[in-house]
Structure 1
Amino acid sequence: MGHDPFGAHELRTDFRGFDVLGSLHAQLSQHQNQRIGIDCSKLFWIDGHLAAPLMTVISQARLRNNNITLQNLPDDVKLILKKNGLLLNRAVDSYRTTIPVQLFGLDEEVIFADYTRRHLRRKEMPKMTPALLGKIFEGIDELFANCALHSRSPVKVVATGQFFPRGERLAFAISDGGRGVDGSLKAAGIAYRSPEDAIDWAMQSNNTSRQGDIPGGLGLKLLRDFIELNGGSLLVTSNGGVWRQSGSQVQKSRLRNPFPGTSVVFEIKTDDEHVYDLKSSPDPRDIW
Structure 2
Amino acid sequence: MQAFEYAVPEEVTSNSSGYEFLAYICATSFLSINNDIIFNFTKCKFFEGNLCAVLGNIIESLKDRNNRIHFQELKGNLRGAFSRNGFLGRYSTAVEIPKTFATSLPYARFKMSDEVIANRFFRKELFGKENMIRMSDLVQKEIIRNIFEICLNAHTHGGCEHVYCCGQFNLRKVPKLTLTLADLGKTIKANVNNHLNQNFSGPEAIKWALTEGNTTKTSAIPGGLGLKLVQSLIKLNKGKLQILSSNGLVEIHDGIITEDLLALDFPGTIVTIELLLTDPNFYILQSEENDWNNIF
TM-score (norm 1): 0.88
Tell me how large the CA RMSD over aligned residues is: 2.5
Match of 2:24 in 1: 23
Size of the alignment, in residue pairs? 281
State the Cα distance separating 1:264 from its structure 2 match: 0.8
State the Cα distance separating 1:229 from its structure 2 match: 1.2
- Out of 239, 259, 264, the position equivalent to 2:266 is 259
Match of 2:294 in 1: none
- Out of 134, 137, 140, the position equivalent to 1:127 is 134
Q: Distance in 2 between matches of 1:181 and 1:31?
A: 25
- Out of 110, 119, 128, the position equivalent to 1:113 is 119
Match of 2:51 in 1: 50
Mapping of 1:168-187 within 5 angstroms? 168-187=175-194
Name the aligned partner's letter for residue 256 of structure 1. A
State the Cα distance separating 1:125 from its structure 2 match: 2.1
State the Cα distance separating 1:84 from its structure 2 match: 0.8
State the Cα distance separating 1:46 from its structure 2 match: 1.0
State the Cα distance separating 1:273 from its structure 2 match: 1.3
Mapping of 1:34-49 within 5 angstroms? 34-49=35-50
Match of 1:11 in 2: 12
Q: Distance in 1 between matches of 2:278 and 2:120?
A: 26
Whichever structure has more strand as a proportion of its residues is: 2
Question: What secondary structure, in the 3-state scheme, does the structure 2 residue paired with 1:90 have?
Answer: coil
Q: Distance in 1 between matches of 2:113 and 2:80?
A: 32
**1:277 aligned to 2:278?**
no
What's the CA shift string for 1:89-126, capped at 9, x where partnerless? 13537670011111223432332222122211122222
What's the CA shift string for 1:24-81, capped at 9, x where partnerless? 2223235322112121211110111110011122223333322122221132111111
Q: Which runs of 5+ in 1 are unaligned?
A: 282-288
- Out of 100, 103, 111, the position equivalent to 1:97 is 103
Name the aligned partner's letter for residue 43 of structure 1. C
Q: Distance in 2 between matches of 1:243 and 1:73?
A: 31
State the Cα distance separating 1:133 from its structure 2 match: 2.4
What's the CA shift string for 1:116-166, capped at 9, x where partnerless? 222111222222222222222221121112112211126x32111110011
TM-score (norm 2): 0.86
Q: 1:114 to 1:148 in 2, by over 3 A?
A: farther
Mapping of 1:63-212 within 5 angstroms? 63-88=64-89, 89-92=95-98, 96-121=102-127, 122-153=129-160, 156-166=162-172, 167-207=174-214, 211-212=218-219
Q: Which runs of 5+ in 2 are unaligned?
A: 90-94, 289-296
